[in-house]
Amino acid sequence: MVKLNNGYVPETLEEALSIMRDEKVKPYSGGTDLMLEVGEGASYLFLNKIAELKIIKSDSDYIRIGAQCTFTEIEESDVAPRILKDAMSQLAGPAVRNFGTIGGNIGNGSAKADSALILFVTDSLIRLKSASSERTIYIKDFYKQRKQLDLRDGELIVEVLIPKKYLENYYYKKIGARKALAITRVGFAGLLQEENGVITHVATAFGAIEPIIVRHPEIDEMFIGKTISEARGIKDNYLNLYENAINPSAGRVSKEYRKTVCMNLLKDFLNENGI
């Protein structure tokens, strides 16, 4: 561990967590969001030298991505799921992707976070650790309110766990103001799995439109157990439920724009799957 003037550079997670417990510090992952703030206040805890937070691996149930993995590293990984790589590849520009991390992206608490959208639609988990505790929770439970996370004192995000089961057939669309360097104005992701003519999984999520990423598994689950043609039969009902469930806020674009685009993309996702 190296102590600098206004900064700490731990080499292990254990060192980092001890500092989190003992000092008043601000975790610095990649800096691409943090450095937009005026630098007053706490020292920075630089996490970018902790090797164990940079691992991407696959086990029987999950693809595990260390919180310090940069967007570029995820994009270049053979192990990371394609839906996530797709999202990472469209984020900002090369320099931001080289230093921004998935942990920082989530830790920012914003519904515009491109990685968070993917984690929501995949019903992923995140593992949080402090010097004295460890817990693994669903990503949806981590976001309490706009920019308010269930992050306790002394905790760091150490890993995301993406369930491997339903990643094959995905739909992803990011809408920004231009083709690169664009903050997401509407994000949509969808997953659908069919086995032996029967739908076994449907998941959708909407990013950047409300204070928290929108995910309604209870609506999506309507399709489970149905065949594609049966699904077509209840499609209108499904869409009506989403019509009522999605309530976008105005931001860089209007509520009406966000609502219309969300519904259009949702329909397109269904169309692409024959529904």
Partner 1 sequence: MKYIEFKLNGENVQYEGSAKDRLLDILRETYRLTGVKCGCKEGECGACSVIIDGRLANSCMIAMGSIHGSDVMTIEGFSNTERFKVIDKAYGDVSAVQCGFCIPGMVLATECILAVTPHPTEEEIRRGISGNLCRCTGYNSIVKAIGIAAKEGEGLW
Partner 2 sequence: MNNIGNSVLKKDHSKKILGVAKYVADVHIDGVLHGKFLRSKVAHAKIKSITLPELPDGYTIVDKDDVLGENKVHIVLEDMPVFAIDTVEYIGDPILMVVGPDEKVTEEIVSKIVVDYEELPSILDMTKSEVTFFDYHHGKGDVDGCFENADKVYDEILNTGYGEQLYLETNGMIADYHDGKITVRGSLQCPFYVHAAVKLATGLEKDKVQVQTDITGGAFGGKEDYPSILACQVAVASMKARKPVRVIFDRREDITSTSKRHPSTARYRAAVKDGKITAMDIDIIYDAGAYSTLSAVVLQRGTICATGVYNIENLRVHGRANKTNTVPKGAFRGFGAPQVFFAMDLFMNHVAKGEGRNSLEFKQEHIVVQGNDTSTNGKFHFHVPLREMIKEVDILCDYKNKKELYDKPQSGRFRRGIGIQLAFHGAGFTGSGERDLIKAVLKVKKYKDGTVEILTSNTDMGQGLQTTFAKIAGKELGIPFEQIIVRNPDTDKVPDSGPTVASRSLMVVGELIRRATARLKDEWKDGEEQIIEERYKHPEFLIPFSLAEFRGDAYPTYSWSVQSVELEIDMLTGQHNVIGAYGSFDVGTPIDMNIVVGQMEGGMLQGIGYSSMEFMDHDSTGRIRNNSLSDYIIPTAMDVPVIVAQMHVNEYPYGPYGAKCAGELPNVGTAAAYIEAVEQILGKKVQHIPFTVEDTLRAISAKED
- Rounded to the nearest whole angstrom, what is the least distance from the CB of residue 114 to partner 2 in the complex? 15
User: Which one of partner 1, partner 2, none interacts with residue 206, CB within 5 to 8 A by kind?
Assistant: none
Footprint on this chain of partner 1 (rule: CB under 8 A): 2-9, 28, 31-32, 34-36, 39, 43-44, 46, 48-49, 72, 92-96, 98-99, 179-181
The Cα–Cα gap between 44 and 134 comes to 22
- Rounded to the nearest whole angstrom, what is the least distance from the CB of residue 88 to partner 2 in the complex? 16
User: Which one of partner 1, partner 2, none interacts with residue 237, CB within 5 to 8 A by kind?
Assistant: none
- Rounded to the nearest whole angstrom, what is the least distance from the CB of residue 265 to partner 2 in the complex? 6
User: Which one of partner 2, partner 1, none interacts with residue 2, CB within 5 to 8 A by kind?
Assistant: partner 1
- Rounded to the nearest whole angstrom, what is the least distance from the CB of residue 48 to partner 1 in the complex? 5
* Between 96 and 222, CB nearer to partner 1: 96
Footprint on this chain of partner 2 (rule: CB under 8 A): 93, 173, 175, 177-183, 186, 252-254, 256-257, 260-261, 264-265, 268
* Between 173 and 226, CB nearer to partner 2: 173
* Between 99 and 138, CB nearer to partner 1: 99
User: Which one of partner 1, partner 2, none interacts with residue 28, CB within 5 to 8 A by kind?
Assistant: partner 1
- Rounded to the nearest whole angstrom, what is the least distance from the CB of residue 40 to partner 1 in the complex? 9
User: Which one of partner 1, partner 2, none interacts with residue 175, CB within 5 to 8 A by kind?
Assistant: partner 2
CA torsion, ordered 82, 95, 212, 260, to nearest 10 deg: -70
User: Which one of partner 2, partner 1, none interacts with residue 186, CB within 5 to 8 A by kind?
Assistant: partner 2
* Ramachandran bin of 237, using left for φ above 0, alpha for ψ from -120 to 50, beta for the remaining angles: alpha
* Between 39 and 225, CB nearer to partner 1: 39
